[in-house]
Amino acid sequence: MKLWVKILIAMAIGIAVGLVFGERAVVLKPIGEVFLRLINMIIVPLVLSSMTVGITSIHDPQKLGRVGGKSLLLYLITTALAIAIGLFFAKVFSPGSALKLQATLTAAPTTAPSLSELLLGIIPSNPFESLAKENILQIIVFALFLGISINFAGERGRPIHEFLESLADVMYRMTSIVMEFSPFGVFAIMASVTGTFGLGVLLPLLKFLVIFIAACVVHGVIVDVGILYALARLNPIPFFKGMSDAIMVAFSTSSSSASLPVTMHCVQENLGVSKNISSFVLPLGSTVNMNGAAIFQGMAALFVAQAYGIDLDWQQVLTIVVTAVLSAVGAAGIPGTGFVMLSVVFSSVPLPVEGLAILAGIDRIREMFSTVMNVMGDAVCAVYIAKQEGELDERQYYHAELVELEGSEV
């Protein structure tokens, strides 16, 4: 049985158990946390080894700069489009206008990170500290310089290259072992979440949730499918088939970082993207390309403004867009980060801080769809850049059987 089928069945059983046993289902939460910890255990060594090896595989410095520049530009464009789509849906459907709430508090006077602060924050002063604190952006920067330095070192750098290449292969195998436990972890997560919040608490915000999901679908069709069909000249259907395992893991874990190992497997083995491109583009995307979170931040800001009867002018809307882009870039790919970064967006306008509490009830469900958009956006960019660089095996993209993770019945 395929991994995504097992996960889907585990999700359904977990929801049913949560509804039947209510808050007593929280006793299962530690099982889900064990699964998430196992995946988090993989992330840092996988990102460091795979990205460094990916960079060393690009011996031409001009090509490295070209691939990096294309990746960042494409990620910024798709993030900005995601925010615009979220704002458009919130403006047209006005999901918060019926609430008519009164504000008693305003957002805390935090400021959005400036561009200079963001740039300084990604430069590691101590790479070992960055590894210990799981600061993925700083690890990526260190891997970039390490990979370039290994290439310049020539034969003297080969032992380090071989070590990191071996470590990357070991981490891929460890991923397959950890994913054997994914159905159990997903079952426990869904049971505890459903048991804690139930379905009743979601009903008042159902309109917002439905509109958000619709916005995600539109973004997927216009932006993701558009890039594949119009720019990469590829049929999008094999893409979704090849990404099925990664989509289910993203949906169930609500973590772009936790989904990264499976995303890399799907992109390389099912879609035919070379390891050179995927090992560089995907870790970068899991950190800076948060399309789902960007849609949510734009929609949530207008939703709260409508709920409290606050009219936003075009300058304030523009401020939301800029702040949301910076927040999405600075957010970590773990559950809850997008919701936390929303407070920065609120403070930039400002909006009532109570709005965060209003949205808290549906945030866990919302994150499931957000993470799918994040992971799909990363994979689309990897496929597009690989096509442009001549490192996409189109025969594998169209005709390959879905390759199973070694050592498991994925």
Q: Is residue 410 part of a domain?
A: no
Range of the domain at 291: 3-399
Q: Grade residue 128 by pLDDT with cuts at 50, 70 and 90.
A: very high
Contact 402, 270 (CB under 8 A): yes
Token output for 160: 């380090």
Number of folded domains in the chain? 1
Residue in this structure with the two tokens 């999700």, named with its chain if needed: 11
Q: Is residue 404 part of a domain?
A: no
Mean pLDDT across the stretch 132-152?
83
User: Strand, helix or coil at 273?
Assistant: strand
Residue partners of 223: CB distance under 8 A and separation at least 6: 78, 81, 82, 85, 291, 377
Taking only the tens place, the pLDDT of each residue in 243-288 is 998 998 888 877 777 788 889 889 998 999 998 888 888 887 876 7
Taking only the tens place, the pLDDT of each residue in 8-25 is 788 789 888 988 898 888
199 phi and psi angles, rounded to 5 deg: -95, -25
We report the CATH number of the domain holding residue 187 as 1.10.3860.10
The mean of the pLDDT values for the chain is 80
Q: Is the pLDDT of residue 356 over 80?
A: no
Is the model more confident about 76 or about 386? 386
Residue in this structure with the two tokens 């700083």, named with its chain if needed: 138
DSSP E strands, 317-402:
none
- Residue 139: what pLDDT? 82
Amino acid, single-letter form, for residue 12: A
As a whole number of Å, the end-to-end CA separation of the chain is 7
Q: Is the pLDDT of residue 29 over 50?
A: yes
Q: Is residue 68 part of a domain?
A: yes
Q: What is the DSSP string of 194-244?
A: HHHHTTGGGGGGHHHHHHHHHHHHHHIIIIIHHIIIIIS---HHHHHHHTH
Contact 280, 143 (CB under 8 A): no
Q: Is the pLDDT of residue 126 over 60?
A: yes
CA neighbor of 239 nearest in space, from 392, 34, 53: 392
Taking only the tens place, the pLDDT of each residue in 50-84 is 778 777 766 667 776 788 788 888 988 998 899 88
* Long-range contacts at 116-125 (CB < 8 A, ≥ 24 apart): 118/326, 118/329, 118/330, 121/330
Q: Is residue 407 part of a domain?
A: no
Q: Is the pLDDT of residue 225 over 90?
A: yes
Q: Grade residue 361 by pLDDT with cuts at 50, 70 and 90.
A: low
Q: Is residue 203 part of a domain?
A: yes
Q: Is residue 30 part of a domain?
A: yes
**Sign of CA pseudo-dihedral 332, 335, 340, 341:** positive
Helices and strands counted in the chain (H then E): 19, 0
Q: Is residue 254 part of a domain?
A: yes
Q: Is the pLDDT of residue 109 over 50?
A: no
Q: Is residue 375 part of a domain?
A: yes
